[in-house]
């Protein structure tokens, strides 16, 4: 293992899976649809297969993000630590950066389960000049439900700043 690989941290930014279209009640209480349940399970298997099992999941307090996490986490054994974060529900990219900067440096892979447009904007903001331009263009357009972006940071979480991470993948779950 190289010294760079030893220091590399991976940030996975995930938009929640497909949720109901609620026109009454609180937006935070919207639950996943059946498609969303299937998408969440697929994301869990995809992360596992890609070697991206998080050591820590930072999850918005909305019902749809909590359900997304619960269904995708079924793919992992042991179950990673999860931290429900109220501030991620209405967060902008700056809040996401602030939350991630506070992660313990011993943790190498962090998953953030949140909402649009914050997930795509955060990925675009963090993407370094070395990032694949097609991937950057993809996140700049916004991402559909159950899509995750993978960023690699060569140093500590505290150093996470705009343009400081390489955007190395964007993965979209099937719609059915």
The SS3 call for residue 24 is coil
| pLDDT number for residue 6 | 59
What mean pLDDT value characterizes the chain?
93
Distance CA 33, CA 45 (A): 19
| pLDDT number for residue 88 | 95
In this predicted model, what pLDDT tens digit does every residue of 40-87 receive, in sequence order?
A: 999 999 999 999 999 999 999 999 999 999 999 999 999 999 999 999
pTM here? 0.94
Count of domains forming the chain: 1
User: Beta strand 166-172 with 56-60: parallel, antiparallel or unpaired?
Assistant: unpaired
In this predicted model, what pLDDT tens digit does every residue of 81-103 receive, in sequence order?
A: 999 999 999 999 999 999 999 99
Could you tell me the CATH number of the domain that includes residue 62?
3.40.50.1240
Distance CA 37, CA 31 (A): 10
pLDDT band at 122 (very low <50, low <70, confident <90, very high): very high
| pLDDT number for residue 160 | 96
The SS3 call for residue 63 is helix
Distance CA 109, CA 176 (A): 28
Instruction: Name the residue range of residue 132's domain.
Output: 3-172
């Amino acid at each position: 293992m190289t010294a760079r690989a030893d220091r590399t941290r991976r940030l996975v930014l995930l938009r929640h899976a497909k949720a109901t279209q609620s026109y009454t009640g609180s937006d935070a209480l919207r639950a996943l649809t059946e498609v969303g349940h299937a998408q969440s399970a697929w994301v869990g298997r995809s992360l596992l297969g890609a070697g991206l099992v998080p050591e820590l999941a930072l999850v918005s307090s909305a019902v749809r993000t909590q359900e997304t996490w619960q269904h995708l986490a079924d793919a992992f054994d042991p179950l990673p630590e999860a931290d429900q974060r109220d501030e991620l529900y209405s967060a902008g990219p700056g809040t996401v950066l602030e939350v991630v900067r506070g992660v313990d440096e011993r943790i190498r892979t962090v998953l953030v389960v949140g909402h649009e447009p914050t997930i795509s904007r955060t990925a675009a903001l963090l993407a370094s000049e070395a990032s694949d331009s097609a991937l950057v263009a993809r996140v700049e357009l916004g991402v559909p439900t159950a899509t995750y972006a993978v960023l690699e940071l060569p140093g500590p979480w505290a150093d996470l700043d705009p343009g400081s991470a390489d955007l190395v993948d964007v993965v979209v779950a099937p719609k059915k």
